[in-house]
Structures are given as structure tokens and as C-alpha cells.
Chains A and B, each alone.
Chain A
Amino acid sequence: MRGLEHRGLSRAEGPIVIARRVETAGYGEMAAVYGRDGARRVGRVVDSSLESIAIQLFASNAGLSIDDTRVELLGRPLELRVGPDLLGRVFDGLGEPADGYPRILSSERREVNGDPINPAARVYPRDFIQTGVSAIDGMNTLIRGQKLPIFSGNGLPHNRLAAQIVRQARILSGDEPFAIVFAGMGIKYDVARFFIDAFERSGVLSRVVMFLSLADSPSIERLVTPKCALTAAEYLAYGMGMHVLVVLTDMTNYCEALREVSASRGEVPSRKGYPGYLYSDLASVYERAGKIEGSAGSITQIPILSMPNDDISNPIPDLTGYITEGQIVLDRELFQRGAYPSISVLPSLSRLMKDGIGEGMTRDDHKELSSQLFAAYARTKSVRNLASIIGEEELSPLDKRFLRFGERFEAEFVSQAEDEDRSIGQTLDIGWKLLSGLPRDELGRISRAMIDKYLPKEGDGADEKRSPDQV
């Protein structure tokens, strides 16, 4: 450590402090700032000129004075010590041990910002992960190496769903070394505790690495937390060949911290006060998922974010959706009806599904079946709108059947118990059972061969006479 010191500030405003110029301040390098109280606050050089440097603190600035503050330049960027001993440990939001044990024994340190993966070195993710949740496996399949966020809202069961995925996720081809990295940003201790308990119950705690910047930690610390977590994940995945599942929660808190810092630097805001670089910044987190050539491991990300006001067009879910490979959207109305996991199937999406399903991966009917379920359920939604205007009795017989299909789809396919682990075969079979309630010539998205092979014969729709109501 260089430890070059410097006394006095020229300004302290929000999370940014300005110190007079110090010869060796490299852009992006770490600094330690000590106030009267002698407490050490870590920060990063965000602007460095011949006259002055600006340091963005990752801790509260309370107690910093202009004259008595000492600035120590550490001469290196923010790094995380990595090694096999990461597993089973709990760290704070800046990557320092928080479980009472000493630092891990390792001489290897990695810059937490990481370097971008060369797109030519990526391996396209294709391995199906069975989560046991029908709405995901059947309709919005999770693939190993994917980044698939959960768009949720306050009070919705995103944590329970994430925990269920962590518990049940498995690869059909067999056992391979895995690890779980958990980053908690601005979450309550209860939430962290919930996950720790969940990991413990499923016996994986020794394979979990946690980075916790809880609600009572300074908000700006959160800006570093996911980066530490992903640095650990990269080490485990690409260094040790593990399949790493990364849960990041709650990304909304991360984005708010970013907005706070941006505002205090007086930057021109774009939408809702968020900085114009929110997209790029989020991408630097989410793009750290994937698989690379020459390494057996992978990083699968499940970021969780709560949509302010349940509004999916808010910049946080919006920009996230523009970066991630799909999204699982939770729905308040379903939740209020008591349905779990309350996944709203239509706005949810998995972009990597196409190459990870079908014959040899899940089942030959998967693509056509899911496409048909989407189409039929979308139709249900418009029938519901009509029913709310003209009344259910006034609906045509065909529309009534779509209505019924939709109800059963939500109750039997989308809903399931929190400990119910459905195989992909079970999931698809439920889908077929539901489709058998529709007239056969409404199944235009499925080839006749598949219909013959899978559509249950005893279904009440298959042979029904066509009627003019089928418009």
C-alpha cells in the first residue's frame, strides 16, 4: 500500500469530497478519508485534475471537516481478495468480512469493476435449468449463463420465488460443482435472514458467498456491493469452474444510490432524475453473466428489483429489461387473489429459451406448446375485457371457453405450492390438459403432428362441432 497522505479538504458535499491536487491520484483509484474521529471511510477518485481531486465516498460524510480531514491515496482501484475460501463466508457491502472471521487467506486480489468479456470469447448459453416452477420452465425458461431478473413490487413474493429457484434449480444432465453468490443492497436484515435460513434448510450454506449492505448501511456503499459479488462469482466460475447462481437484491436500491451520487455531482439528469449513464452502469453489472470459452463454469444472474409504483416503464425495470435476457414479472392482482408465485406470464420473457428447449433438451413439443399457451392466454385477456363490459353471460360459447381456459391456466399451471417441484414433463402435460379444453382448430400454433402426439383425447374440446361463435 502506498499510503500517500494529504491533509485538508476544499469542499465536502454529499458523498463527494474535494481535496486539493495530489500528485499521484490516479483516476478510479481508492482513497481512505479520515475525519476528526479517526474513522476510516473508503472512497474512489472520480475526477482527477492538476488542481484538485474529487473523491466519492462509500460511507457517510458526517464528521468530516475541511481542515482536519486526512486523505490517504491507496494507489490501486477497489479490489476484492479472492480464493476458494470465499465459499461459506459473509462480507459487508465493500467486501470486508462481516461474519467475525478474519480476511480470507489468499494473495490474489481482483479489481471489482472487472473487464468486459470479449464477445468473441463468450459461449452462447444453451443449458436448460429446471426450476420446478411451471411459469418459468414452461413459458420463460431459465438457461445456465442467463441474466433473468424478477420484476416485482413491494410485498410481492419475489424473495420466496428466488429462494424456491435457488432450492430447486438443477440441470437435467446431472451434478456439477455449483455455488451461490448473494448480494443484498439496502435490504432489511429480515430479508437477509430469510435467505440465510433458506440456504441453510436446503443444506447449501457452505456453498454460499454473501455480500450484505443492509438498509442501515450508507446507501452509497451499495454501488460497490454487486461488483464485489460478481468479482467473487467470476472467480468461482471462471477460476474454479463452478456454476454460479448470483442473486442480486434489490437493484432498485442500487439505482437510487446511483441517482443520489449523480445529483450531488450536479450532473444533467435524464428520466426521473436518474443519470444518463444508468443504462451503461447497469450493463456493467448485468453483462457479467454468461459463459466463456475454455472454462467449465458459468454465471447465471437473478437480479431482483421492485418496480416503483408497480410501474414497468419506470427507468429501473425499463433499462434492466433492455439489458437482461428477459424478465419474470410478478403481478399484484394475481397475488391478491392468493396465487403463488403470481407470475404474470405475458409480459415475462426468456430470450434464451429458444435454444435451450425442444427435443434432447426438454421435450419436442415445448416450443409449439408454449407458443400456443401464450396465444390462447393472450386471447383470454381480451375476452376478459369484453366480459367486463358486456357481462360474462353475453359472451359467445367460444369466448366462454377461452375464459375458462384462462382461469384454469392461472389456477393450475401458473399457480403452485412454494415447495412444489414440478418436472418439465409435468409442466408440459398440464399445458396440454388445459389446451384440450379449446377447440382443436384454435390451436393454430401447433403442428398437427404434435397435436396428434400429445393432445389428450378425452378433452372436451377436440371433437366439438364448429360454430359461428368461433369468430
Chain B
Amino acid sequence: MMPSGPRGGGAPKAVQGRITRISGPVVVAEGLGSAGLYDVVEVGEARLAGEIIRMDGRGATIQVYEDDTGMKPGEKVVSLGRPLSVSLGPGLIGTIYDGIQRPLERLKESSGSFIKSGLRGESLSTRRKWPFAPAIKPGDSIGPGTLLGTVRETELVEHRVFAPPRSPPCKASHVAPAGEYTVDDEIVETDSGLRLRLAQEWPVRQARPARRRLAPSEPLITGLRVIDVLFPLSKGGCAAVPGGFGTGKTMTQHAIAKFCDADIIVYVGCGERGNEMTDVLTEFPKLVDPRTGRSIMERTILIANTSNMPVAAREVSIYTGITLAEYYRDMGYDVAVMADSTSRWAEALRELSGRLEEMPAEEGFPAYLPTRLAEFYERGGRVETLAGEPGSISIIGAVSPPGGDFSEPVTQHTKRFIRCFWALDRDLANARHYPAISWIDSYSEYAEELREWWDRKDPGWKELRARTLELMKREQKLEQIVRLIGADALPDEQRLILVTAEMIKNGFLQQSSFDEVDKYCVPEKQLLILQTILEFHDLGEKALKQGVPLSDIIGLPSRERITRLKGEVPNDRIDEIRAAGRELGAAFGELGLKYEREDG
């Protein structure tokens, strides 16, 4: 995406101006009157990357994506006459980029362990050759959504090269034969004079078009029980994960990135820790996708603009990520985007807005914060692509509210644009109950739409879900009483609810990402465990009515066994859960008999 290369058809007009003022990442320049808003510029003698974000009487205001220490007024600024864009083509998968799509691995090789200003690197290698198989022949007509050919990008990803979304109708005059090509090689020429390369460019701040939006209809299976059963996300849905520091936003996102059933993952580390990206970089290549048997890095793209990297590039990183996601969506894939953390992105907006001396709205954030949030989340969704296939982008945005207080602007505005809310709870996190997703404060509006899908797969889902939520709500009410008078004062039926709720918490909701067996739970296992626990509850209620004392019910060895099923029974041996359920039934049977006899 760097302003250096000769990419991006046509010869845009370069305009030169002069710096009049430098204040942190914001630079003002004069003489750029004929440049466009949001044009990419090269700032100063060091040719740092920047973007024009305002044009007014004082000249052009530019945000600079690199540290501009040492830059002086009077130095030149060159506008390249085109908007900030990303390079799209084979080679994206498995790569780690910074917020403006500089390839971090290549920068490391060329310039060492620290990122200095002015470094450049090709976003896509221009030397690597890819096996291209054409899908059209000369004479075929070409328009938006025409498949030109395919490239095997990784074992998991077939890269489909389409005509650019805005191509006017035309016919292929020349098509490259099957063979090895670089991203810069032309693969199709048209009678209208278009020369299409293997790679394309797209401006990051513009959503890529699709034919139409489709309703979400299928869950994004994450392997996390509390999500898949209680607060499900649909493919193409948007979720927020708000929580104070250390409550588990990043861990939740990592877990989903590892195990969810999306085809492509775009992970945006936006203003967060360097080590977390390193963690992904070292762990993902070693992890095998449970469904395909391949390394999950073969479906992952990383964008890392950590907290100590320039703040303007942090602002763009979100757009860079979502643009890459749209590109793969357009190939008909289900893409999941993790943005950690959208609050840091909002703060980047705030910081830049402050430098522009704009009038602040709530807590110093600019008035356009909600608009920007809406624009971002609206780029998620399930669509019919230009090629007529379904494709989706699910967005999972972490929110880091100051002081863990959800009433702050970013959380509040985000809630307007998402339909799935996984609220992380400080008390759960402190007790190391992970994922610390509150079963009281969280919600998912997708549950209704996903019912049909589950009905086909396992009709038990909706009832299990409803009963569990209901039970947990009752437990919460009872807990309030217990906190005042102790559990002893409750009647046995109510104490049984506490027992069952405790089993749901420990045996179902709690799921450690560090547990080799439990870190990923297939949907069948999820439902079976829950079913077994609720069966315990039903049998317990019945037994109480038969006069069995609660202590005997609690004391059943098969009860303790149930709470351990999650970690003791691997995904491929779930019959053992059924067996445990039968054992439980038998144990209750015996209890019943015992007291019947004693009564008689």
C-alpha cells in the first residue's frame, strides 16, 4: 500500500507542496490545493507515509503514519493523487502486516528488530511465483464478479482472482495460459484496454461492493460453550467483547481465531501488546485446524499495530483489516475479523481529532465517533458477492472501557451497531472463571435467526438454551437471598437450583483455553454435557418429591463426574458422556428405591 510502487492503473497526478507546521503526527502543508482529500502523500525529505485528512484555508492537514521526529517546516510534501489503498492478491495469508500493510517479517529481515521511520517493504512479494489456472478464454466477456482464474494460495485457501468490482463490461482479448506468475504479471488483457494483474489495489476507506445483503442463517461455531449455546454469533454477525483489563478479551478472541469454523481469519491487533502478536505468530503455525488438519496459520492474516506504534497507523489498521476481509469474502469465503481493541482505535481518532483542534463531544471523543463505528461494523455481514455466491464477514470487536465501566461512549455506541454482546465480568475473572462472559449481562439477538439451523442439526438446542438461561436467572435471584441469610434457610427445591447452577458454571460455562482437552468443544459435546446436567436437575427434583434428602443427591459420585466430563472426555469420545448420563439415571433409580423401601 506504500506510495512507492507503480501499482494501480493509470498515471495519477503528483502534486508537490511544502510543510508549514508539524505537531506530533499531524502536519500542515501548503500548495496541495489540487490534491484530493484522503490522498496518500509522502511527507518530508524522509518521504514518510501520510494521508490528507482535511483541506481548508490553512492548507492540507495530513496525518503521518510514521514517527516524524526531526522533520522541519519547509520540507516538501508530495501527493500521489490516489487514496490510501491496500494490495490484494495471493500472499496475504499467513503474513503479518502493520496498520498500513507494511510486511513486518520482511521489514525485520531488511532492517532489524526495531521499526524505524521511512522503512518500506512490498506488501506482496513481487518475486514469488504463484501457480495460476485461468478460468476464462479470449473472447469471454468480463464484468464485475467475473472469475478470471484461481491460484492455490495455501492448502486451505484457493485464491480466486476476479475482475475488479468496477470493471466496465468488456471482452478478454488475451488470457495468460496456466503457469507460474508473480503478482505483478498481467494475466488478462481486455478489448477495452484493461490490463489485469494477479494483484489489485483497493482504497481502504471504501467498502467493497457486493450484489446484495443476505440474512444471517448459520452460526459461527466457536467451540466455546458459553457462546455457541447461550450467546451465539452468526456468520456475518457482529459481536462486541467489552471488559476491563485482564478480564479475557484477547484470550476470547484468540480462542475464536484458533477454533472457529470460518474459512479465513483476519486478526487486527490495534493498539495492544506486542507480545500478544508474537504469541499468535509462534502458536498459530503449530496449531492444527480441527476440521481440515492443516496449520491454522494457513487461513490467518495478522495486522499488528501495537500500542507503541504510531497512532495514525493505528487508526487505519482497522480499515486495512476489514478491506482484506472483504477481498476474501468476495471469493465466497466466510471470514471472521477480530479487532483488539476497538477502544484503542477510537482513542486514536480522539487523539488525532484533538490535534486537529476539533470540537470534542463526549469524553473528548469527536462527534463523528458513532458514525465511524457504524461504518466499520456495517462492513460486516453476509452478502451475495458480485460473482453471485454467498460470503460473509463476522466481526468481533474487543472494547476496553476505562475503569471497566460500560457506560462510557465507546461501549455505548458500539452496542448500537452490534447484535451480540459478550460482557466480561470482573468478579468472574478474579475468581479465574474463564471465559468470564457474564451469563446475566450478555445477550445475542442472533439466537432467534439461528433456531432454524439448530432445528435441523439438533432440535434440542433451543430448549436447552432457554432452560439454562432461565435457571441461571433464578440462581442469580436466589444468590441475592443467600447473600443475606445463607443457603441453609432455603427450601430444598431452591437449593437444588443452586446445586445445578453451580454444576452449569463449573461443568459447562467455565472452559479454560489452557486445557488441552477442553479448549475446543464440538457442538455435540456441548449439548450432551448440558443435557446431562439438566437431566440431573430433573431427576433431582423428582427425587426430592419422593422424599430423598438433598444431601444424598449432592453426594452422588456420578454428580461429581458430570462436572469433570468437559475435561475428561475428548471430542471424539462423546459416547462416554451418554454413558455418564445413564449412570446418573441408574444412581437416581437406586436412591429412589432406597427411600421408597424405607417409607414402606
* A residues in contact (CB < 8 Å) with B: 21, 23-29, 46-50, 77, 111, 113-125, 145, 238, 267-271, 276-277, 279-280, 283-284, 287-288, 290, 292-295, 313-315, 318-319, 321-323, 325-327, 346-347, 349, 351-352, 354, 367, 371, 374-375, 378-379, 382, 385-386, 389-390, 394-396, 399, 441, 444, 447-448, 466-471
State whether A120 touches B105 (Cβ < 8 A). Answer: yes
B residues in contact with A322, CB < 8 Å: 245, 400
A25 vs B22: C-alpha distance when bound (angstroms): 10
State whether B432 touches A375 (Cβ < 8 A). Answer: yes
State whether B430 touches A378 (Cβ < 8 A). Answer: yes
State whether B351 touches A313 (Cβ < 8 A). Answer: no
State whether A276 touches B350 (Cβ < 8 A). Answer: yes
User: Which chain B residue has the least Cβ–Cβ distance from A440?
Assistant: B560
**Are A26 and B113 CB-contacts (below 8 A) given A117-B274, A321-B245, A468-B549?**
no
B residues in contact with A371, CB < 8 Å: 432, 512
**Are A267 and B488 CB-contacts (below 8 A) given A120-B104, A378-B432, A466-B555?**
no
State whether A49 touches B430 (Cβ < 8 A). Answer: no
A21 vs B347: C-alpha distance when bound (angstroms): 31
State whether A119 touches B96 (Cβ < 8 A). Answer: yes
A247 vs B350: C-alpha distance when bound (angstroms): 31
State whether B116 touches A271 (Cβ < 8 A). Answer: no
For this complex, 9 residue pairs linking A to B, each with C-beta atoms less than 8 Å apart, are A27-B68, A47-B22, A117-B274, A120-B107, A238-B113, A268-B360, A347-B430, A374-B431, A468-B495
User: Is B288's beta carbon under 8 Å from chain A?
Assistant: no
A residues in contact with B69, CB < 8 Å: 26-29, 77, 111, 113
State whether A287 touches B554 (Cβ < 8 A). Answer: no
State whether A367 touches B364 (Cβ < 8 A). Answer: no
User: Is B273's beta carbon under 8 Å from chain A?
Assistant: yes
User: Is B195's beta carbon under 8 Å from chain A?
Assistant: no
State whether B275 touches A49 (Cβ < 8 A). Answer: no
A111 vs B70: C-alpha distance when bound (angstroms): 11
A60 to chain B, nearest CB (A): 24
User: Is B468's beta carbon under 8 Å from chain A?
Assistant: no
B residues in contact with A390, CB < 8 Å: 484-486
User: Is B538's beta carbon under 8 Å from chain A?
Assistant: no
State whether B403 touches A25 (Cβ < 8 A). Answer: no
State whether A386 touches B483 (Cβ < 8 A). Answer: yes
B21 to chain A, nearest CB (A): 4
A residues in contact with B155, CB < 8 Å: none
State whether B307 touches A118 (Cβ < 8 A). Answer: no
Interface size on B, residues (CB 8 A): 84
User: Is B14's beta carbon under 8 Å from chain A?
Assistant: no
B residues in contact with A26, CB < 8 Å: 69-72
A288 vs B306: C-alpha distance when bound (angstroms): 12
A204 vs B279: C-alpha distance when bound (angstroms): 33
**Are A287 and B551 CB-contacts (below 8 A) given A23-B74, A268-B360?**
no
State whether B431 touches A346 (Cβ < 8 A). Answer: yes
A176 to chain B, nearest CB (A): 20
State whether B70 touches A27 (Cβ < 8 A). Answer: yes
State whether A116 touches B113 (Cβ < 8 A). Answer: no
Q: A27-B23, A389-B484 are in contact. List 20 more A-B contacts (CB 8 A).
A: A27-B72, A46-B24, A49-B73, A118-B113, A119-B304, A119-B306, A121-B112, A124-B275, A124-B278, A267-B354, A270-B364, A271-B402, A280-B347, A292-B113, A313-B404, A321-B245, A326-B246, A378-B431, A466-B555, A471-B495
B residues in contact with A375, CB < 8 Å: 431-433
- Flag B426-447 by CB within 8 Å of A: 1 or 0 each: 0100111100000000000000
State whether A119 touches B402 (Cβ < 8 A). Answer: no
A203 vs B499: C-alpha distance when bound (angstroms): 57
State whether B506 touches A444 (Cβ < 8 A). Answer: yes
A364 to chain B, nearest CB (A): 13
B407 to chain A, nearest CB (A): 13
**Are A116 and B486 CB-contacts (below 8 A) given A276-B354, A375-B431, A441-B560?**
no
Task: For B514, give its contact among A28, A50, A354 (CB under 8 Å).
Answer: A354
A residues in contact with B68, CB < 8 Å: 27-28
State whether B245 touches A124 (Cβ < 8 A). Answer: no
User: Is B452's beta carbon under 8 Å from chain A?
Assistant: no
Task: For B308, give its contact among A21, A284, A314, A468 (CB under 8 Å).
Answer: A284
State whether B308 touches A471 (Cβ < 8 A). Answer: no
Looking at A280, A321, A325, A394, the one whose CB has the most chain B CB atoms below 10 A away is: A280
User: Is B4's beta carbon under 8 Å from chain A?
Assistant: no
**Are A116 and B550 CB-contacts (below 8 A) given A48-B21, A378-B430?**
no
A residues in contact with B502, CB < 8 Å: 471
A residues in contact with B108, CB < 8 Å: 118, 120-121, 293
State whether B347 touches A287 (Cβ < 8 A). Answer: no
State whether A396 touches B487 (Cβ < 8 A). Answer: yes
B residues in contact with A444, CB < 8 Å: 506, 560, 563-564
A residues in contact with B72, CB < 8 Å: 23-27, 48
State whether A47 touches B308 (Cβ < 8 A). Answer: no
State whether A396 touches B405 (Cβ < 8 A). Answer: no
B residues in contact with A318, CB < 8 Å: 244-245, 402-404
B residues in contact with A267, CB < 8 Å: 354
User: Is B281's beta carbon under 8 Å from chain A?
Assistant: yes
B residues in contact with A118, CB < 8 Å: 104, 107-108, 112-115
State whether B363 touches A395 (Cβ < 8 A). Answer: no
State whether A325 touches B354 (Cβ < 8 A). Answer: no
